[in-house]
Amino acid sequence: MSTALQFDPIRLPPECEVLRREVRAFLAAEMAAGTFDPNAIDKDDLFNASFSQKVGKKGWIGITWPKRYGGQERSFLERYVITEEFRAANAPVRRHFTADRQSGPVLIKYASEAIKMDILPRITRGECCFGIGMSEPNSGSDLFAASTKATKTKGGYLINGTKVWTSNAHQADYLIALFRTSAATKENRRHGLTSFLVDMKSSGIAINPIYNLTGLHDFNEVVFEDMFVPDSYVLGEIDGAWKQATSELAFERSGPERFLETFTVLIELVRVLGDKPDVRAAEALGRLVAQVHTLRRMSVSVNGMLQAGKEPIVEASVVKDLGTIWEQKLPHRAREIAAFTETDDLGNRAAFEEHLAFATMIAPKLTLQGGTTEVLRGIIARGLGLR
Ligand SMILES: Cc1cc2nc3c(=O)[nH]c(=O)nc-3n(C[C@H](O)[C@H](O)[C@H](O)COP(=O)(O)OP(=O)(O)OC[C@H]3O[C@@H](n4cnc5c(N)ncnc54)[C@H](O)[C@@H]3O)c2cc1C
């Protein structure tokens, strides 16, 4: 077996614990002020512009970015703590989260200085929402089959085609999207795609909502008809987006959001079991907590490696694979564990059942979004030299 898999044994340094206390105090004050309810099931209010701006004021968006772009030049481990606390509290971060996690870092790497100076500070102030325009009706896992066309015209490109499952598009100020600028070649079927910044105020864009199983509107179909994108909005190498895609993936796949999306079920389970669970329930609960603790150690490790300038693509894929399967199975396990527990407090039981129902409905998507289990395992196998 190859030694290509390496989880550095990283622990969160003391400054992270100081920051954690600050973040918890901020969140507690916001909950007390009624900005959001951590126990709410109806997640229609996850886009909260004024909350994002408050987070921006704290300096907690783009915290790792250079100061000249509005960042704080702090560590990925500090960013980890912020993500973890916000996710565990079910805070409404949707307006800024994608830009903070991956769109900003892509712009830092590939955008012109003028675009960086214009957009990055707005992201850090919590004023910018981004979406990712990769998937198409006939191209999901096989990203490089994308066919939405960018045709060269005077001063830029005209875009025609359809993206699908585009989270946030209905709220987004910008997308970072992959468009076809040339045909693939015989030698390289990944050739011919270019990454573009898309201003969602441009004419020629139609956004059609897609409602998920819970009835919420998170993602969309986005249709482009002769939408103009200026030359300056090309990100990186023309026809060479395939070379750029991989570094984005470690950012997208390794965070605590990859195993905490159904976490409220675990919290409600603890409430239902109370402080004297029977031996069977205590053992099952202990097992779940040990598993989430291990996932967390692995996720912290990947973030520590990112901080050290490494590109832990395989390790990030392992975290997403194990993490999403864990969070996907959690509702089912929680239902089994709670099945034979008598609860005096019927309020707790009702809240548990509500969270369980919601988590059960979102569970199928967890192993699809951001790369399916099978595709991740292909990446892991390749990284280990097994294929
Ligand atoms: C909640 C949610 C939000 C999303 N948000 C976005 C977004 O914002 N932007 C965006 O661009 N996309 C988004 N997506 C799309 C997502 O990235 C795709 O659904 C995903 O890449 C899978 O593509 P697909 O649905 O076309 O399935 P397919 O690629 O058709 O896969 C179907 C099945 O075949 C398997 N399969 C495919 N290829 C292989 C292979 N080579 N080896 C083994 N098995 C394989 C897959 O694992 C899967 O089980 C989102 C999806 C979800 C569920």
Task: Give 301-358 pLDDT, tens digit per residue.
Answer: 999 998 898 888 899 999 999 999 999 999 999 999 999 887 776 678 888 999 999 9
Residue 135 beta carbon below 6 angstroms from any ligand 1 atom: yes
* 167 vs 177: CA distance, rounded Å: 12
Give the bridge partners for 195, in sequence order: 178, 235
**Distances 347 to 105, 264, 270 between C-alpha atoms, Å:** 44, 15, 14
3-state secondary structure 352-366: HHHHHHHHHHHHHHH
Residue 245 beta carbon below 6 angstroms from any ligand 1 atom: no
- Residues 103, 176: contact at Cβ < 8 Å? yes
What residue's CA is closest to ligand 1, atom 51?
369
Q: Which is more confident, 191 or 243?
A: 191
What residue's CA is closest to ligand 1, atom 25?
140
If you write DSSP's letter for every residue of 134-176 in order, what string do you get? --BTTBSSSGGG---EEEEETTEEEEEEEEES-TTTTT-SEEE
Over residues 160-172, mean pLDDT: 97
Residue 301 beta carbon below 6 angstroms from any ligand 1 atom: no
Residue 365 beta carbon below 6 angstroms from any ligand 1 atom: yes
Q: What is the Å distance from ligand 1's center to 213 Cα?
A: 17
Residue 369 beta carbon below 6 angstroms from any ligand 1 atom: yes
The model carries a pTM of 0.94
Q: Which of 108-117, 201-210, 354-363, 378-387 bottoms out in mean pLDDT, i.e. has the lowest?
A: 378-387
Identify residue 214 by its one-letter amino acid code.
Answer: T
Q: What is the Å distance from ligand 1's center to 101 Cα?
A: 20
* 327 vs 260: CA distance, rounded Å: 7
Mutation to probe ligand 1, out of 135, 147, 386 (largest number of atoms < 8 A from CB): 135
Q: Which of 326, 320, 264, 262 is nearest to 292 (CA)?
A: 326
Mean pLDDT of the chain: 93
Residue 274 beta carbon below 6 angstroms from any ligand 1 atom: no
Over residues 115-138, mean pLDDT: 97
In the chain, the DSSP E strands lie at 130-133, 149-153, 156-164, 174-180, 193-199, 205-211, 217-230, 234-235
* 287 vs 276: CA distance, rounded Å: 16
Tokens 């004021």 belong to residue: 57
> Can you give the pLDDT at residue 5?
87
**Distances 26 to 96, 136, 359 between C-alpha atoms, Å:** 17, 39, 27
Residue 210 beta carbon below 6 angstroms from any ligand 1 atom: no
Confidence of residue 3 (pLDDT cuts 50, 70, 90): low
Confidence of residue 1 (pLDDT cuts 50, 70, 90): very low
Give the bridge partners for 163, in sequence order: 222
**pLDDT tens sequence across 214-258:** 999 999 999 999 999 999 999 999 999 988 876 666 667 778 988
> Can you give the pLDDT at residue 7?
93
For residue 134, give the ligand 1 atom closest to its CA.
11
**pLDDT tens sequence across 76-103:** 999 999 999 999 999 999 999 999 999 9
- Residues 95, 126: contact at Cβ < 8 Å? yes
186 Cβ contact list (under 8 Å, min separation 6): none
Q: Which domains does the chain have, with CATH numbers?
A: 14-128 (1.10.540.10), 132-239 (2.40.110.10), 254-383 (1.20.140.10)
**Distances 104 to 64, 116, 251, 312 between C-alpha atoms, Å:** 10, 9, 11, 19
198 has a pLDDT exceeding 50: yes
Residue 216 beta carbon below 6 angstroms from any ligand 1 atom: no
2 has a pLDDT exceeding 90: no
- Residues 195, 181: contact at Cβ < 8 Å? no
Q: Quote the Cα angle for 296-48-77, to 5°.
A: 25
Q: Which is more confident, 253 or 386?
A: 386
42 has a pLDDT exceeding 70: no
What residue's CA is closest to ligand 1, atom 50?
369
Residue 161 beta carbon below 6 angstroms from any ligand 1 atom: no
